[in-house]
Structure 1
């Protein structure tokens, strides 16, 4: 079923939304501000003449335990994405467990019940602060024209006052096409809602059936169609959906999760070499951006995750929004602008195999295809550990190949997958290097300097033969306790890791990365270090305090020597290639100078000697004491040498998008040249998260987003599934 959705246009008002009396200057009868009324269930707010932000008055809510508010109704505004902002001042504002202070908006739709209204708000913080601007992005549903917008400032506080002034509502700035209404033709899409047009038709079934997609009739909003759905156990084959489109379009997927079981759909165009994932429908229909591209001669291909930790998949519709010539030019210019590509991503070389069990080049390339047309310009590609690699090697080793039992299911997936890939002569590291190059990224292959062995019961899987064969080269603490590290005071240890890197760089990488941030120290009080110290200073380091500067100086000298050895290897590889290009050396280090020097990481010296080309500080590494990045230090020592500094945000430990954006702005303002996103592909399948993460190199856009809040994908409630209404007063599932 193809729904053009142009019926919206006749009902869409051309009048822009504009708040009347936004500064509360005009007074109506009864001393209330003109155009404002109390919200239902609330007492009137008040007015104040005490130091308004502008004019002679501001609105005021006194914290007396009563719910108070001013509300204004905007009639028949244009249907589009809006940004609302206002200025707020708090003086001793105290909010108890049931209290609130909110800048609140209701979007009501023409001829739709209140239950379909979109509600959006921004919490206003308690405390004491001067006039501060707070903003929020208003994203309406796309299938109905807006009838009214209710603008409300409401609070119930136990003490203090909240003043507000100069409220605004205006068109939102487009942010990469995340929302279909950002485009000029966003309200004139072509919607493909009948998934039975997909091929092969024999892969479709009206019932749950192994190896088939279940077809389900549905209605949601003004869309009626036939979705396809498959469970994690189904093993359904890929489907091809003809788009029959020419020219540039924004393509959106209507992810379907009718039973709150989760949803993960893989999608690609005909020309693509790999799928990319889109996920999370939250028990409803969630519209997420898939791609902005020229669709001439292209079909859409969808699939389930073929192996590993599988997931349910459902697709209800495909939305195609044609771009205007001006929009096409803007998209192309933005993609050609390399200044935005200031982001660094990491892939650990293990987790994606552990979870997905990829056994083909297409399966592997999902990891890099994700970064196409994003702000990521550099990939730090780990092979898995110190000398743990995911390909046949005479230097490193493929873990799990001698086991028939595994502590975790994912470890078995990993061992089986790399064995199958090796049998097919497919090298995962080489494949991802080539895939990253195809999407415009530079690649630094990376070793974890301390990842030699794991605690029980994982030691059989993660143990290193090199570590096992050379107990004399392990690190030891002052009391003689063996520490699970190999000492960089030993030339053979350094040479072993240089050889691991040399092999990986030879696959076509653009440089090497040393991951010091995972596992310092790598030099302690083992005999090789003690002998060097005795030879140098004629003293026993064990009889000196740990703070003796000579101990740290010798550690730093040894780690500097290691970097020189890596640098020499890179120069030799560059000479072998003969293309005149320098191979880069990047490092992950700790967050400030003191922590780095504690473990022999002399960033100041490395910068002066120009040993490194890119510095990636990491906050929160084991053994560190820093609670914040000292970017002033890094700028001081790295900027004179022209070395970019890109501090790290960890994708899976910053689930709150607003927090991620605010932290990004703080780091840019402190002098960061870019950002490193650790495990950037963690959450890349979520439309809302990737809309933010993939564009963190657009600094001014990030500033706006940090103020307005992240754009959330539109969500539609199902009205009908099969022949059963599911939006009534009584849930059909209450009996289970």
Structure 2
């Protein structure tokens, strides 16, 4: 079913009269307000542009035998609908308990088009929408599927949820800009999420209501070409948390893929983007996301299975094949809360070496090991050496987790007393002498990592660190990372690090100071937090950091950001510094809610109000 919404001259003139505020929408399929329906909070639903083409009849998908109107097992269910804008169609939905297979939707257009996906997130018995996605989609010819997630957790300027809530969510189609591509001879293929994202804690209904296609004008084609990544614009890093493999620290199950295609799918969003550096969390404590001889592999029996694919090996090959760098990162995870009995909580290295544990003022153990002990540093170095053997381009130390790295251990207290003649336990933690003393042990570890890297020229070191007091810190006063054992000034003066990635935010004063100390040799790539924000807000934040001295950006938990299509559409182009103002203008048009008028034979507005 193809629907085109025409724009009259009068409607066009009315849009034009809105002035510059309408420009972002006009450049991204903006539209007439005639007949628009009021939305909660006084907002309006805006109709589609005159040249938009809707592929809204998903009963045309193939194979036909995978479709049903009677809730047959193992098939996609077809449901009729009509939006308040007059788009009629048949959506497809599948429940997570059943394997319903892939569907192919012919697009039947030629040339470059902007592609929007329309999805209804219906009321159901499942958990909240998983950040890993509820649908996977690709175009024919793509190397892998893209995951698509509900973009909950982001608010509009008026404070209301972007995707709505309650009935305003269930009664709407979320229309999200995905990408721009030449669609000549191409179809859309979509499916339910792959394992492990259909586990009970992540499962939800998969849905696709329509695909909206907007052809590019000649001017837009030229601008599309301008937004393609180049060596100059590739200045971003994805920091990939591997909790989906090892289990998260809250105690979720482990997973290892048995097919390389799983990893190719996972890597797809970073291709054709401004992402240059893929930071893979290969070391979560001594739990290793590769075939280790030293650490643990995190499975219940802690034995590598021959059917598993080695994630670090495949990600390294993919990164290099696409002109990207890959760093293996270390997160010094230790013991977990006692009721967490999953493999990530076992921390064998910690329990076998408790004599090297960090201690509080009273001599009671903390849940991690102290870098003050050479034996602890040597263990981490042995694991890091294993990752470098894969041909990775460097190492990333996540010093924004597991702080402090040195505390009141015996050798630390003794050497401080020898130097200053006083017991540090009698001093406040803010004592500058004590902070610098503890930081010296971390700096020694960084020197050792640098030495390891320099065994092969060209390898680099990145550090993720707190750019502000962390949420558990009651002292929000003037901040310097040395509070958490990070002597950044010494690192820069000794040229120990190549990348500094402050997270979740960073004081612009620190950025300017580090740029002055490090000059053009060091990369300052601050994290773009929060994890969920509007596309134009990402561009605004990147612009602010660039102006303060940053030369790139990173995204923590990047493995859960690309699924938020409208937001990722902006993030993946943030290396185009000269296009940031354009992204700021256009960003608000990357996502909108379109309300249903009729659904499955019902009038929607005053229905479904009984619970």
Normalised TM-score (structure 1) = 0.68
1:375 partnered with 2:274: yes
SS state at 2:446 partner: helix
Following the alignment from structure 1 to structure 2, what is the Cα–Cα distance between the partners of residues 553 and 493? 20
The change in CA–CA distance for 1:118 and 1:249 in structure 2 (over 3 A counts) is farther
Deviation at 1:236? 1.5
Following the alignment from structure 1 to structure 2, what is the Cα–Cα distance between the partners of residues 291 and 619? 27
1:715 partnered with 2:593: yes
Question: What corresponds to 2:296 in structure 1?
Answer: 397
1:387 partnered with 2:286: yes
Question: What corresponds to 1:426 in structure 2?
Answer: 309
SS state at 1:310 partner: coil
1:141 and 1:714 in contact (8 A); partners too: no
1:588 partnered with 2:464: yes
Q: Deviations over 1:582-603 (max 9, x none)?
A: 1110111232796332344221
Deviation at 1:238? 1.3
1:637 partnered with 2:522: no
1:106 and 1:120 in contact (8 A); partners too: no
Question: What corresponds to 1:196 in structure 2?
Answer: 59
SS state at 2:525 partner: coil
1:341 partnered with 2:225: no
Deviation at 1:200? 1.9
1:13 and 1:79 in contact (8 A); partners too: no
Question: What corresponds to 2:70 in structure 1?
Answer: 207
Question: What corresponds to 1:256 in structure 2?
Answer: 120
Following the alignment from structure 1 to structure 2, what is the Cα–Cα distance between the partners of residues 333 and 628? 30
Deviation at 1:267? 0.3
Following the alignment from structure 1 to structure 2, what is the Cα–Cα distance between the partners of residues 478 and 119? 53
Following the alignment from structure 2 to structure 1, what is the Cα–Cα distance between the partners of residues 360 and 508? 28
The change in CA–CA distance for 1:655 and 1:457 in structure 2 (over 3 A counts) is farther
Question: What corresponds to 2:181 in structure 1?
Answer: 293
1:530 and 1:540 in contact (8 A); partners too: no
1:453 pairs with one of 335, 360, 385: 335
The change in CA–CA distance for 1:219 and 1:481 in structure 2 (over 3 A counts) is same
1:444 partnered with 2:327: yes
The change in CA–CA distance for 1:285 and 1:496 in structure 2 (over 3 A counts) is same
| Paired residues for 1:473-552 under 5 Å | 473-530=356-413, 537=419, 541-542=423-424, 545=427, 551-552=434-435
Provide the alpha-carbon RMSD of the alignment. 3.8
Following the alignment from structure 1 to structure 2, what is the Cα–Cα distance between the partners of residues 598 and 14? 58
Question: What corresponds to 1:321 in structure 2?
Answer: 214
Structure number with higher strand proportion: 1
| Relative contact order, higher structure (CA 8 A, sep 6+) | 2
Deviation at 1:532? 5.0
The change in CA–CA distance for 1:583 and 1:515 in structure 2 (over 3 A counts) is same
2:358 and 2:408 in contact (8 A); partners too: yes
The change in CA–CA distance for 1:439 and 1:325 in structure 2 (over 3 A counts) is farther
1:229 partnered with 2:93: yes
1:108 pairs with one of 19, 28, 33: 33
Question: What corresponds to 1:649 in structure 2?
Answer: 528
Q: Deviations over 1:53-102 (max 9, x none)?
A: xxxxxxxxxxxxxxxxxxxxxxxx9996289xxxxxxxxxxxxxxxxxxx
Count matched residues. Answer: 562
2:177 and 2:590 in contact (8 A); partners too: no
2:103 pairs with one of 235, 239, 261: 239
SS state at 1:392 partner: coil
Worse-superposed segment, 661-670 or 313-322: 661-670
Deviation at 1:140? 3.3
The change in CA–CA distance for 1:199 and 1:473 in structure 2 (over 3 A counts) is same
Following the alignment from structure 2 to structure 1, what is the Cα–Cα distance between the partners of residues 60 and 586? 40
Worse-superposed segment, 611-620 or 197-206: 611-620
1:14 and 1:78 in contact (8 A); partners too: no
The change in CA–CA distance for 1:199 and 1:423 in structure 2 (over 3 A counts) is farther
Following the alignment from structure 1 to structure 2, what is the Cα–Cα distance between the partners of residues 538 and 305? 59
Question: What corresponds to 1:406 in structure 2?
Answer: none
1:473 and 1:528 in contact (8 A); partners too: no
Following the alignment from structure 1 to structure 2, what is the Cα–Cα distance between the partners of residues 2 and 656? 30
Q: Deviations over 1:117-153 (max 9, x none)?
A: 99977xxxxxxxxxxxxxxxx98311xxxxxxxxxxx
In structure 1, stretches of 5+ residues that fail to align are 23-76, 84-104, 122-137, 143-180, 182-186, 403-414, 576-581, 621-625
Question: What corresponds to 1:279 in structure 2?
Answer: 149
2:467 and 2:502 in contact (8 A); partners too: yes
Deviation at 1:692? 3.6
The change in CA–CA distance for 1:117 and 1:459 in structure 2 (over 3 A counts) is closer
Deviation at 1:255? 1.8
Normalised TM-score (structure 2) = 0.80
Question: What corresponds to 2:551 in structure 1?
Answer: 673
1:332 pairs with one of 222, 225, 228: 225
Deviation at 1:310? 2.1
Following the alignment from structure 1 to structure 2, what is the Cα–Cα distance between the partners of residues 367 and 395? 27
Worse-superposed segment, 353-362 or 663-672: 353-362
Question: What corresponds to 1:217 in structure 2?
Answer: 80
Question: What corresponds to 1:579 in structure 2?
Answer: none
1:651 and 1:683 in contact (8 A); partners too: no
The change in CA–CA distance for 1:222 and 1:656 in structure 2 (over 3 A counts) is closer
The change in CA–CA distance for 1:290 and 1:704 in structure 2 (over 3 A counts) is closer
Following the alignment from structure 2 to structure 1, what is the Cα–Cα distance between the partners of residues 70 and 394? 52
Worse-superposed segment, 324-333 or 271-280: 324-333
SS state at 1:718 partner: strand
